[in-house]
Amino acid sequence: MTDRPAPSRLAGERTDYLAGSLPDDAPADPLALFDIWLAEAFARREEQGDLTEPSAAVLSTVALAADGAPRPRSRTVLLKGHDAEGFVVFTNLGSDKGREIAATSRAALLMPWFALQRQVRIEGTVEHIADPDSDAYWAHRPRGSQLGAWASHQSRTIASRDALEAQYAEAEARFAGADVPRPEFWGGLRVRPESLEFWQGRAHRVHDRILYSALSDGGWERHRLQP
């Protein structure tokens, strides 16, 4: 018999999921289910402390290469608002993600709640939120974060950490003794969902998946997907 190499640690890594289920009679409105799951994610952090950043979301966009080939790109952001109109994040609009969204008007969000063995996928179109709403959120940001937004030319190369610290010091000096205004290049983006998929881990990798697809009349069509 030929000796076979032992599986790598990654190949052997396996956790069975036993935390819960998604019933066939899940709420007809996906936003109602999202609110329940988000509240449970925050409760898990407060009660057990093993779910950090309940509002963390992986934002995926598509960049087009010089030859026209699509290049998916992902990064983690923080969800800062959601309602019937969509899901809101804030960013430097001149960053890679800002430019990619401007070019395609589309994005996807993934909210991973590992401790609850859950995730939610959100896909849809993207629009800028109104300036007054961006101003209102900006006003509640810590001053250091406001200065950081002015200091960083997000996604651009820089020679060193010292150079970045120098740009921050320059922003500090520029706005010393005054409120820090919101830059025109910084604001909110709203993902208007065309679909939401709720995923609950189950035993033997026979997971629960419920997909909600938006209808033209404002309602939702709900389907159970095979894992």
Place of tokens 């959601």: 82
Q: Is 154 annotated as a binding residue?
A: yes
Active site residues: 205
Q: Is 80 annotated as a binding residue?
A: yes
**Bridging pattern class, strands 208-214 and 86-92:** unpaired
Q: Is 78 annotated as a binding residue?
A: yes
Q: Is 89 annotated as a binding residue?
A: no
Q: Is 91 annotated as a binding residue?
A: yes
Q: Which one, of 191, 225, 182, lies nearest residue 31 by Cα? A: 191
Q: Is 150 annotated as a binding residue?
A: no
Count of C-beta atoms within a 10 Å radius of residue 189: 23
Would you call 92 helix, strand, or coil by DSSP? strand
Q: Is 195 annotated as a binding residue?
A: no
73 CB contacts (<8 Å, ≥6 apart)? 60, 61, 62, 63, 96, 97, 100
Q: Is 212 annotated as a binding residue?
A: no
Q: Is 90 annotated as a binding residue?
A: yes
Would you call 163 helix, strand, or coil by DSSP? helix
Q: Is 206 annotated as a binding residue?
A: yes
Would you call 122 helix, strand, or coil by DSSP? strand
Would you call 46 helix, strand, or coil by DSSP? helix
Binding residues for substrate, as ranges, are 14-17, 80, 137, 141, 145, 205-207
Binding residues, as ranges, are 14-17, 75-80, 90-91, 97, 119, 137, 141, 145, 154-155, 199, 205-207, 209
Binding residues for FMN, as ranges, are 75-80, 90-91, 97, 119, 154-155, 199, 209
